[in-house]
Amino acid sequence: MATEPKPAKDDVKVDLFEDDDEFEEFEISQEWDDKKEGKEVTQQWEDDWDDDDVSDDFSLQLKRELESNTVKN
């Protein structure tokens, strides 16, 4: 019984490490070309996603839910 809490503690520690990793310092002599891949990572965004489409599962369920019985007036 007394040994049980131990592994749980270890888990927390591992997790802490994972998230505490800091911004790595670039070496003093480090130079790089940002032309190619730097661009790629900046193009991974959608700013026009808010469409009128309601054919996804969530919307269909919502629709069914709203129609399930008439709302009181």
Partner 1 sequence: MAYMSMGEAHRRITEYLNSFSDAVSSQDGASFKSLFALSSNAPSLLSLADALNIFQDANRLIKQSDNYSQFADILVPLFRSLQNYRQNNLLEAYNAFEKTANAFIQEFRNWESAWALEALYVIVYDVRVLAEKADKELASNGKSPEKLKGAGSVLMKVFGTLAGKGSKRVGALYLGTVNLCRSVIRSIETARIFDFEEFPKRDKVTYMYYTGRLEVFNENFSAADYKLSYALKYCNPQSSANIRMILKHLIPVKLSIGILPKSSLLEKYNLLEYSNIVQALRRGDLRLLRRALQDHEDRFLRSGVYLVLEKLELQVYQRLVKKIYIIQKQKDPNRAHQVKLEVIVKALKWLEIDMDVDEVECIMAILIFKNLMKGYFAHKSKVVVLSKQDPFPKLNGKPQLIEDVIPIWQSSYNLGPVSSRS
Note the residues at the interface with partner 1 (CB under 8 A): 15, 19-28, 30-32, 34, 36-39, 41-42, 44-50, 52, 54, 56, 58-59, 61-63, 65-66, 71-72
Torsion of CA 43, 54, 62, 71, to 10 degrees: 130
42-70 burial, b at 16+ Cβ within 10 Å, e below that, comes to: eeeeeeeeeeeeeeeeeeeeeeeeeeeee
In the complex, least distance from residue 6 CB atom to partner 1, rounded to whole angstroms: 20
Q: Which is nearer to partner 1, 1 or 45 (CB)?
A: 45
Q: Give me the least distance between CB of 10 and partner 1, in Å please.
A: 16
